[in-house]
Amino acid sequence: MVTIDRLIFLTILLATSSCSLFISSPDPKASKDKSLSVSFKREPWVAADPRESDYAWAHERSGEVMMVNSFCGEFQSLPLETLALKTFQDYPGFKPLGKNTLEWKGREAFEMEAEALVDGVKVILHIRNYRRDHCYYDFVLISPRGRTEESLKAFNALLDGVRF
């Protein structure tokens, strides 16, 4: 059985390392966005150890995890869809389920849903990625038991709480 902490650690490790594996940063000043803030409080989601992410939350009962990552000075040349695919395609059993380009906070954003295996457990991955002011952002929902309408509402509430 996968613990929430182990799922968070593996997912963060894979998500953050996969970006740095396929594109090296030419900018030695690459960093996290210090002006990014996320106001999100919703029962039964609790703040979790973000490890390599800017923010992370875990659902107390379902094992779902949400993370926010920023990468400034990196990932400026590839399309958002390509970055989303490259972030998750190395997960075993990766299978895209749907994608959508939309406008969010006055700019283009990209959403994708996929299934994959994390530590041998089938999960549903939902990502929204976005660029602004020389920073790349990804917002991720990981659902080990299948995504529910309630988890998408929580994810949207998280997105509503994002400030740059």
Per-residue confidence in pLDDT tens, the chain, 164 aa: 445 454 444 444 344 434 433 344 444 456 899 899 999 999 999 999 988 799 999 999 999 999 999 999 888 889 999 999 988 888 999 999 999 999 999 999 999 999 999 889 999 999 999 999 999 999 999 999 888 899 999 999 999 999 99
Distance CA 14, CA 9 (A): 9
Give the per-residue pLDDT at 52: 79
In the chain, where are the structural domains located?
4-163
Distance CA 112, CA 67 (A): 15
Give the per-residue pLDDT at 88: 87
Contacts for 20 with CB less than 8 Å, ≥ 6 apart: 74
**Amino acid letter for position 31:** S
Distance CA 44, CA 92 (A): 29
Distance CA 108, CA 81 (A): 11
According to DSSP, the residues that pair with 69 across neighbouring strands are: 138
Does domain 4-163 fall under CATH 3.30.70.2860? My reply is no
Q: Which two tokens stand for residue 76?
A: 């400026």
